[in-house]
Amino acid sequence: MSNKDIGYDTINLGHGSGGLMTRDLLDHIIFETFSNPYLDQKHDGSIIKVDGEMAISTDSFVVSPIFFKGGNIGELAVNGTVNDVAMCGANPKFLSLAFVVEEGLPMGDFIKIVKSIKETADRAGVQIITGDTKVVERGKGDKIFINTTGFGKVHPEAHISPYKIKAGDKIIISGPVAQHGMAIMSQRDGLEFESTIESDTTNLNFLVNDLLDGFGDKIHLFRDPTRGGLASVLSEIASDTELGISIKETEIPLDDQVAAACEILGLDPLFVANEGIFVTIVDAEVADAVLELMKKDKKGARAACIGEFTQEHPKKVVMHSVIGGKRMVTPMIGEQLPRIC
Amino acid sequence: MSNKDIGYDTINLGHGSGGLMTRDLLDHIIFETFSNPYLDQKHDGSIIKVDGEMAISTDSFVVSPIFFKGGNIGELAVNGTVNDVAMCGANPKFLSLAFVVEEGLPMGDFIKIVKSIKETADRAGVQIITGDTKVVERGKGDKIFINTTGFGKVHPEAHISPYKIKAGDKIIISGPVAQHGMAIMSQRDGLEFESTIESDTTNLNFLVNDLLDGFGDKIHLFRDPTRGGLASVLSEIASDTELGISIKETEIPLDDQVAAACEILGLDPLFVANEGIFVTIVDAEVADAVLELMKKDKKGARAACIGEFTQEHPKKVVMHSVIGGKRMVTPMIGEQLPRIC
């Protein structure tokens, strides 16, 4: 598959027309890359056989730049939705894939993104079963936006709900914070700085599945701290319960280089977006065993218990800081860094 | 629900941040409008119980202008995906809903679109069960793009497939062609012309369901001639079989005003997009009864049998023209009119 196969160096308005050019683009790039019995139906949609409880999640990805250290928009679009389905306690199996491409996107970039989507989907064990491609005029979009919607069967042992959380429950995070946001920021126009920080984008579904296999209904919640960062997610969870959250700053995994970059730019790493980590709220009695299991997996190697739920200060998140004080952790209000995912 | 409730006259980057402004927008506009037990889970996704064969279809909507005669982008985003699921022989029940909004969109326009989505979803009998909202900087989008992904159970009597088509099968269209495309075109910058042509956007799922109830596996295919128009869809169907298609120009329903507008602009109505009609391929023995049933429904009142499949000219579409000649109908090649849906 190359630019030559479809005779155009860039994406053209005609590629979104629904006519022959669209068909060429689909046949030579999309169908060739993702071929599977569902997509090969080539209908307006796809038919799957399912049975029981299914989780469904949708996300649009508008990250800028579209290629960044540690990943690209295609990789993000697969992992992001795979992880959202996993956070429901489900095993993602199918994805829909919809592009809104700006006229003039180099065909090579489009092909690179499509290939990356295929590789990322294979790694996560999901299939692309239906899709759509639209093209907008130059200046009416920003290179490429991608929507993915994911489906997967809920794990038979999953009982995921904020209502299950009780005082004493432990809060475990699977890895270091703020990597994705700082990787994007280091490459953002006008903000570029030298760093080797890479996005943490990855699929978390297998690790989530292992936890549900091992601990079933002792796992009370999964949540991935993407936009808005860890602070926004913890605030949201606290507000969904009648309990408070108490966390220790010293326990939150954070790379030195990421911490330094945040400090230089005056950013709070708790507000910075993540793509490859999750928070889980577990019954205290299994917390150590959960940590042990997570640390055996590369994606949870740096997992840490960062705090617990408490009867005190209901609906509020309080952080015990490095220097011994306490501070209230509030959700982010406006926009710290737009177009992060 | 009004602009005042959320304190902003326009959509801001902060509304896509994942922080407090996002939560405000969701709580006051999205959750309030669409409230249902699935969406109210307020999780990263939604959990539904299903059993059997499900059809899934996704579509992004980028139409310009976003408000047009006979509808708006929100209405289109619901009906378009509802119809794509219906075309699979399924009964759409659930939709995901993802916005990519350009900074500066008047809040009133956003609210108007959201309300219209709710009304259109109610009419079609579908629920919005999960969603996403992203905001891009001014000049990096075009007011609003919407992705919907739809799910529905396949009708127990449906056996929809191009492989079931045989010579003699009749081709029935549910209503007049080219209305949506010409309605958009009459309001497109630089092209405006006086007309009362309205988009035909509507949901077709109930009529499709009635046909499957009545005729089961005698219905061989449904397809909605949206982008690329009737010509592109018929060409595509023909190329998926080993048969030819023969149609009669005089039988294709077309409003005088639409025909006149096409003539003035030099457009072939067979290439112009539709949003509220479908083509069905049926066994010849039920064709009359299918037509009779369709005509009883307002959405099929002007249904017509426009032709049939034939052993001759395999994979080609031949039209018998008004003046008695024959011409080959080819799919559209490039883009006739961009941003139609």
DSSP B147-168: EEEEEEEEPTT----GGG--TT
Please, which residues have CB within 8 angstroms of residue A260's CB and are 6 or more apart in sequence? none
**Same domain as A214, residue A146:** no
CB contact under 8 A, A137 and B62: no
Residues of B in contact with A181 (CB under 8 A): none
Q: Is the ipTM of this complex over 0.90?
A: yes
Say whether B14 and A335 touch across the interface (CB within 8 A).
yes
Preceding omega of A65 cis (within 30 degrees of 0): yes
Cα angle A227-B133-A334, degrees, rounded to a multiple of 5: 50
For residues A272 and A294, give the distance between their C-alpha atoms in angstroms, rounded to a whole number.
23
What is the structure's pLDDT at A334? Answer: 76
Among A304, A207, A169, smallest CA distance to A248 is for A304
B156-195 residues touching A, CB cutoff 8 A: 160
Last residue of a domain, one of A134, A154, A174: A154
Any residues with CB less than 8 A from the CB of B278 and at least 6 apart, and which?
Answer: B83, B86, B87, B173, B174, B204, B208, B222, B223, B224, B225
CB contact under 8 A, B23 and A331: yes
Contact yes or no for B81/B58 (Cβ under 8 A): yes
User: Which residues are A46's β-sheet partners?
Assistant: B56
In a domain, B336, yes or no: no
Say yes or no: A96 and A228 in one domain: no
Residue B110: its H or E element: helix B107-124
Would residue A135 count as lying in a domain? yes
User: In this predicted structure, what is the pLDDT of residue A17?
Assistant: 85
Contact A338/A185 with Cβ under 8 angstroms? no
- Please check whether residue B277 touches A, CB under 8 A: no
Nearest-5° Cα angle at B127, A229 to A162:
40
Q: What is the mean pLDDT of chain B?
A: 94
Give the closest-approach CA distance of B75 to chain A in angstroms: 18
The pLDDT of residue A332 = 81
Chain A 66-125, residues with CB within 8 Å of chain B CB atoms: 84-85, 87-88, 90, 94, 96-100
Contact B98, A132 (CB under 8 A): no
Cβ <8 Å between A45 and B150: yes
Phi, psi of B334 (to 5 degrees): -95, -135
Residue-wise pLDDT for B84-112, tens only, equals 999 999 999 999 999 999 999 999 999 99
Q: Which residue out of A39, A56, A189, A233 would a mutagenesis test of the B interface target, given it has the greatest number of B Cβ atoms within 10 Å?
A: A56
In a domain, B335, yes or no: no
One domain for residues A18 and A57: yes
Last residue of a domain, one of A104, A131, A154: A154
Using DSSP, state whether A129 is helix, strand or coil: strand
Angstrom distances, CA of residue B178 to CA of A246, B175, B247, B301, B307: 61, 10, 17, 16, 18
Provide the domain count of chain A.
2
| DSSP classification of residue A298 | G
pLDDT in tens, A186-234: 888 666 677 889 999 999 999 999 999 999 999 999 999 999 999 999 9
The burial class, CB within 10 Å (0-12 / 13-18 / 19+), for B130 is: buried
* CB within 8 Å: A16 and B147: no
- Show the domain range for A210: 162-329
Q: What percent of chain B has pLDDT over 70?
A: 98
Domain match, A175 and A233 both: yes
| Average pLDDT value for residue range B259-264 | 92
| Same-domain check for residues B20 and B83 | yes
In a domain, B338, yes or no: no
**Residues A273, A147 within the same domain:** no
* Distance of alpha carbon A308 from the chain centroid: 24
CATH code of the domain in which B286 resides: 3.90.650.10
Coil, helix or strand for A99? strand
**Tens digit of pLDDT for each residue in A92-134?**
999 999 999 999 999 999 999 999 999 999 999 999 999 999 9
How many C-beta neighbours within 10 Å does residue A159 have? Answer: 15
Tell whether B285 is covered by a domain: yes
End-to-end CA distance of chain A: 28
pLDDT exceeds cutoff 80 at A268: yes
pLDDT at A322 over 90: no
The last residue of a domain, from among B118, B135, B154: B154
Q: Which two tokens stand for residue B260?
A: 């006149």
Reply yes or no on whether the pLDDT at B187 is more than 90.
no
Residue to mutate among A13, A26, A44, with most B CBs inside 10 A, is A44
